[in-house]
Amino acid sequence: MAQFRDLDEFFDDSLSLPIGGKTYRIPPADAETGLFCQRLMAAGIDAANGREVDAANLDDDGETDLYRRVLGTAYAEMIADKVTWPRIKHAGVTAFLWIAGDADTAAKYWDAGPEEEAPEAGAASSTPSRGSTSGTSRTPRIKAVTAKRSAGKTS
């Protein structure tokens, strides 16, 4: 019978994000948050592909709550360190993509930086532009990243 090593010996289920010379450790999501993120990702993919989505859009409070959930203890640490909101949002979306997708997708988003919305997402979305005061300005970009990620997969 096969003998398995303890998963804790080799499995790192956290994410490290460097911001302003400090590395923040994003703890692994609990099962409830992980499943929520996967449902949200699926809704984003459906919306990006023009399918009807039966899910409420995140308002500013819901978006803030999402970042708190996906960043875990690092959220409070970032607030205490006075990390700017755009950087927290970027870290939050990165953590969301890591939880709902994988590290490669999250890294691509992280490395893209705070660019303008992806053209294909902005053209079909009624979400406010990046210059708006609404906290939901990243939603089209999330949809674009998730749609591109899912395009090569088969069910």
CA 110 to chain centre: 10
Task: Encode burial over 19-41: b for 16+ CB neighbours within 10 A, e otherwise.
Answer: beeeebebeebeeebeebbeebb
Domain ranges of the chain: 30-151
pLDDT digits (tens, 9 = 90+) for 85-97: 999 999 999 999 9
Of 3-12, 43-52, 77-86, 139-148, the least confident: 139-148
pLDDT at 132 over 90: no
Q: Give pLDDT tens digits for 6-28.
A: 988 888 889 999 999 999 999 99
> Which residues make Cβ contacts (< 8 Å) with residue 40, sequence separation at least 6?
55, 66, 96, 100
